[in-house]
Amino acid sequence: MSDTEFDLVVIGAGPGGYVAAIRAAQLGMKCAIVERDRLGGICLNWGCIPTKALLRTAEVYHLMQNAESFGLRAENIGFDLAKVIARSRKVAEKLSGGVAYLMKKNGIAVIDGTAKLEGQGRIAITGKDGTTLPAISAKHIIIATGARAKTLPGLEPDGKRVWTYKEAMVPERFPSALLIVGSGAIGIEFASFYRTLGAQVTVVEVLDRILPAEDEEISRLAHKAFAKQGIVLRTGTTVDRLVTTDDGVTVTLKTRDGATVEGTVDRVILAVGITGNVEGLGLEQQGIEIENGHIVVDEWYGTGIPGLYAIGDVVGPPWLAHKAMHEGVLCVERIAGVEDVHPMDKTNIPACTYCAPQVASLGLSEAAAREAGHEIKIGRYPYSANGKALAMGETEGLVKTIFDAKTGALLGAHMIGAEVTELIQGFAIGKTLETTEAELIATIFPHPTLSEMMHESVLDAFGRALHI
C-alpha cells in the first residue's frame, strides 16, 4: 500500500473513533484517522472530562463550606474562577495529548483536516488552513463524527448571553443568575456546578419530571435533593421567549396550563439535546440514510453501503462515550472477522450523571420492566442505613434493583447518592454475565463500603435484607 492507501480510515477522533482505530491496529490493519479539530473529540475537550474537573472543584468547595461538620475549621472560603477553568482545561489538554501518544504508539496515521466521501473508498481531505491535501482511500471507512448541541427556533445561542455547553465551561465571569433549558444529564450537571459555587439557578423542563430518562422514583428523589439545595425546578414548562440585553437575558416561560412567568437572568444555558454531525461529509451522495439528524445503521454499524460504517453519537442515543467506544471495537472486530463477536445489548449500557447527589442507572426502569410484561421484584436500600455513608457524611441516596420474579434475572439498577457513578459498574458486570439474584446474594461485599448497599438492595428484593 502507498502512504495514501489504508485498510481502514476512521473519520473523527473522539472516543469511538480513536478506540476503533486502536483496535484496528491491534488486529493488524493499516489505519488512518482524520480529525478536523482536536484528538479526543468533544468528550475529552469539551464534554465528559473537563466538566468532571469542574464538578470536582464544586465538590471540594462544598466540603470546605461544610468543614465544621467534620470537626474542621475553614475560614474565608472562596474560589478563583480563572484558576477553576484553567485546571479544567489543563486536564482536557493532558488527555488529548495522551490520545496523540496512543496514535503514535499504535502506528496510526493522523491526518489533520476535514474529510468528504467521494465513493469507491476514496476520501477527499481539506486541511485546517483550507488547502487541499492528498486524497486517501480505504477498503473500510468508519464515520465517527460525533454530535453537537441542538438548538431550538427562537432560542439560538449567541455565545455571549445564551450559551451552549462550550461557553458554559469557560465563562469570563461568574454569573449570579442562570436559566438552564433542559434537565437531562448536561443541564443538571451544569445546574449542580453553578449552584454549588453560589449562582441562583433555574432549570426548565418541558416534560413532567427532571432527568426524564431515569427511573421515575430516582427522578423524584433527585428533584427533592436539588430543590433542597435551592435550585428552582420548573417542569411542564417551555421557554416562550428570550430577549438579550446589555445586562442579561429577559426570559418568558410558559407553563402547561398556559400561564406565563417572566424574569431576568445573567445567562441562559441550552441543554436540549444533541444532533449528529452529518453535514459536509457527502453522505447523501453515497446513499447513506439519515434520520432525525443521525446516520441509520444496522446491528453491526453498517450503513447499507459496502465498506461504510458509522458509530458513536452520530448514529443516535444513548449519546455516551463508553457506548461509542464499545461500538468502535465491535464494528472493527466484525470487519476483521473476529469470532464470537455479538451485537451490543443497549440495556447493558450504564448511564451516569455527575451532579450532587450523583445519579447512575442500568437496564430497565420499573415502568419499562412492567410495560415489557415482566413480573418483577424490587429491592431498595437507603444511604442513611449504610455505615460508610454515615462516616462520609453522605446519607442522602438510594440503591434500587429490579429483578424478573420468575427467573431472578437482573433487569435494572437505579441509584442516587455519593459515588454511584462508580458503583453502577458492579451491576453492569453482573448484567452482562446474565447474573441472577442467586449469584449476587452469594457474592461477598467488603465492609464497610458503599457497595454493601448494592448487596442489601438485592437481598431486599427477595425479602432477605439484613440491615433494614
Which residues form the catalytic set? 447
What are the grid coordinates assigned to 148, written together?
Answer: 453537537
Distance between CA 236 and CA 88 in Å, rounded?
34
Indicate the burial class of 159 (C-beta count within 10 angstroms; 0-12, 13-18, 19 or more): exposed
Bridge partner residues of 178 (DSSP):
201, 267
Long-range pairs for 56-61 at CB < 8 Å and ≥24 separation? 57/84, 57/87, 57/88, 57/193, 58/192, 58/193, 58/196, 58/197, 58/356, 59/196, 59/356, 61/196, 61/197
Among 93, 81, 73, 92, which Cα is nearest to 57's? 81
CB burial readout 262-293, b (16+ within 10 A) else e:
eeebbbbbbbbbbbbbbeebebeebebeeeeb
Cα–Cα distance, 446 to 244 (Å, whole number):
54
Task: Determine contact, residues 394/383, Cβ cutoff 8 Å.
Answer: yes
CA angle 409, 396, 460 (to 5 degrees): 30
